[in-house]
Structures are given as structure tokens and as C-alpha cells.
Structure 1
Amino acid sequence: MEMKSLLVLLGLLPALACAQNGTDVYLMRVTSANGIPALSDPANISNKTGYDNQPFFHPSKPLLYYTSMMPDNQTDIMVYDLSTGTRTQLTKTPDSEYSPTVLPNQRDLSCIVQRKASGDQDLVAYSLADPNTTRLIFASQKTGKIGYQAWINDNEAVAFVLGEPNALHYFDLKAGTDAVIAPQIGRSLHKIPGRNTFSFVQQTGNRWIVREFDPKTKKLTDLTDSDPDSEHYNAWTPDGMLLESRGTQLWAFTPKTKVWTRVPLPADLPAKKISRLAVRDGFLAIVLDE
């Protein structure tokens, strides 16, 4: 099967995003109301027709990175400055970049690069100071095609690796190891705030379970159920609340109470399907269908 056909079938990376429904990245302000996020001031920051997706906040600068489809039907990484409201194109390559993620060193941005010539999906680091300076982190010819990634430090990462089934891999660059942790996983991978652990979503029978992986002990812990009818996109708030998109709704889970609560959305936010989420202090980025 050709790479493009495979991606359309699995819906993993939008190689043919121009043929899919367009998506927009919205930014909202977040405060707290009785322990539940209170959202306001939604703004469409991608502000164009077509595929704009996969938001990721810089951990210490007022910047939001996201994937954007270009007129030639390949994707590059855009940067939105929260302080000025301006957009800048970070990458401009013949290949397609996806899943922008600021590395813990905060000097580099790692991306999944889909090679135009071969269809390989490699993990590559771009220097934030000079995006023309790159280094290959993982070659998909060795690891398998990579879809998504999350980092705990500059040496340890987890990745969604395509296969039959798709699986969670744990990479230790310093030790040079690649371990398969769990099969049948979803697309949301995150470092849990305040912990040196990762969260992911795994299908078990008819259930989708949000699980925690501790690289030090190799222990897996069940945290809660993900809604079985959703696409299992989630994100952690800095204070340890888990958000999940469910159709046109947003829900929040507090580990202490172990209760899911629906989050009210602003009346001026379009009532469209929500998918990916990203959070930082005071802000929430969400992806809506056009």
C-alpha cells in the first residue's frame, strides 16, 4: 500500500490534509472557577482556510507552534506570538513537518518529518535560533514510522510508532535503547506535570484507558477511562487536571476526585468538533473543524 493511502486509512498524519476537512487553531484565556477551567476570549489564530493543527506551547516564551498546510499541499511549522498576535513561518522545506514539540533544552524543536521522496517519517530536531540547522534524532528505517512524540528530558522520549498494531515506544538516547511499552495506543502522548512520567491512551477491549508510564520503574498505572466515542485527544493543565475533547464538548478530569466534569465553552466559540488541545499557564489552544 502506498504511504498516502496508508495515512488516509489510519488518519494518523494528514499527508492529504487538503482532501480532509479543514481545521483551525483557536486560542482562549483560562482562569479557574471552582476548580474547573473558565474559558474566554476565543480567537482564531491560524486564520486561513485548510489544515492548521497540532498546537504546542513553548514552555517559557509566549509562543505557540502549530502545523499548517501550505499552497503546495505540504506542511510546515508556524509560530504564533501571543504577545504581538503575529504569525511567522518557522520551517520551509520540500518535506512535510508535523507534531512540533519544544525539546526540554528549549533550544530545539522536534518534529515528525515525512520525507517527500520516500514517505519515511523521521524524528528531526530544528534549532529554534536557526531552523536551517537540523539533526536526525530517530530514523524511521530503524524505529518504524513515527507519528507523535513526547519528552521527559533531552534523552528520554516516548513515541507513537505505526505498525500492526500501533505501539508506544520508549527511547533512551543515552543508553541507545528502544523498548515497546504498549500496543493499541491513541495519539495523545504527554509528560504529566510535576512527575517524570508520561500519559497515553490505550485500547483494551471496548475500553480506552488513560494510563501512566514511569520510565524509571517501567510501571504502568491506570488513571481513568477515556470516552470510548471520542478520538482520545487530551492535555494536562499545569496544576494536574486532564482535559479531553469529546465531539463539540470539552471535559476535565481531576485525579484527586476521579470525576469527569463538562467544561463550559464560551458562547462566541464556534460550535464545531474539537480535536487536539494544548495548555500553558493562562491559555488553552484547541483545534476546531472549519
Structure 2
Amino acid sequence: MSRVLLLCLTAFLSLSLSAQDELPHTQLYLFQLDYDNGKPFITKPVYLTAFNAGGYNNQPYFVSENELYFTAQLAGEEPAQTDIWSMDLAEGTLTRITQTVESEYSPRLMPGSFYFTAVRVEADAEATQRL
């Protein structure tokens, strides 16, 4: 029995120039993956990002069997930028790990460590990206 995390795009992308700077509205769901006579099927859907239904929830990474890191931009929050969040799947608790003026993406646990890495987009005119 395995668990599968699916990222679902829940909104359309506008072609207007003003919408090009906006991130798409995306949601995270967790499913259990089972097999019946060698055929996979999913069961037990869990909607993980109800706290941010109108926002951007993306780039999930399993830190452990029960802990998930992901990137989120909260709907309506100003300034609009992304932060790293942690979700304890067993307890159902949510923790905001970063809250900076820069945007952080793509969290990954460093091998053999409790530290994590992320891509940081600076709040400069060039939107410089650093690891």
C-alpha cells in the first residue's frame, strides 16, 4: 500500500498581460495507492490545502512518511510572494517555515541533516534567484 501526492491545477490561466505575473491557483491532494490484480487505483482522497483554496500550493516534497514541505502563496496576502510550509500529515497541523519579503520555492531536505534548501527569489528588479 502506497500513498500518492497529486498536484491539481484548479484554475485557468488568463492570457491577459496583468495575469502573467500571477501564479496559478493550485491545490494539493493526498491519495492512497492500492492495487487490484496488478492494476493500480487510488482511494481515500484528502484535500490538503483547504486553508489556501484560492492560492498557489505547489512543489510538494515528502520530508518523511508523515511530513510534507511545500511552497504556498496565500490568496489575498500582500505583498504577493511565496513561502515554505510544513504539514504534519498524521496530526493535520500546518507550520509556516519561512515568512520573508523574498519568495522561496522548491524545498528539499539536505542529505543527512535536519536543514533544508530552497530557491530564493530576491525582491530586486532582476528577480535574482539564489539557492
TM range (shorter): 0.7 to 0.9
Residue 108 (str. 1) matches residue 99 (str. 2): no
Unaligned runs of 5+ in 1: 1-14, 124-290
Aligned to 2:130: 122
Give the whole-Å Cα distance in 2 for the aligned partners of 1:34 and 1:77. 39
Classify 1:96/1:36 alpha carbon distance in 2 versus 1 (closer, same or farther; 3 Å).
farther
2:31 equivalent to 1:23? no
- Which residue of the partner structure matches residue 63 of structure 1? 67
TM-aligned CA distance change 1:46 to 1:106, over 3 Å: farther
Residue correspondences, number: 106
Report the Cα distance in structure 2 between the residues aligned to 1:114 and 1:76, rounded to whole angstroms: 11
Match of 2:88 among 69, 81, 90: 81
Q: Which amino acid aligns with 1:95?
A: E
CA drift of 1:36 comes to: 4.1
Extract unaligned runs of 5+ from structure 2: 1-19
1:62-99 deviations in Å (ceiling 9; x for gaps) = 10111000312100011111111111101111110001
Q: Call closer, same or farther: CA 1:81–1:105 in 2, change over 3 Å.
A: same
After superposing on structure 2, the runs of 4+ consecutive aligned residues of structure 1 that deviate more than 4 Å are none
Partner of 1:46: 49
What's the CA shift for 1:31? 2.5
The correspondence for 2:106, drawn from 99, 103, 107, is: 99
- Deviation, 1:120, is 1.0
Q: CA RMSD in A?
A: 1.9
Answering whether residue 79 of structure 2 is matched by residue 90 of structure 1, we say: no
SS state at 1:21 partner: coil
Provide the rounded CA distance (Å) in 2 between the counterparts of 1:107 and 1:21. Answer: 30
Matched letter for residue 91 of structure 1: T
TM-score, normalising length from structure 1? 0.34
Aligned to 1:186: none
User: Deviation at 1:41?
Assistant: 1.3
Closer, same or farther: CA 106–46 of 1 in aligned 2, 3 Å: farther
Name the residue aligned to 1:221: none
Distance apart, 1:34 and its partner CA: 3.5
Partner of 2:6: none
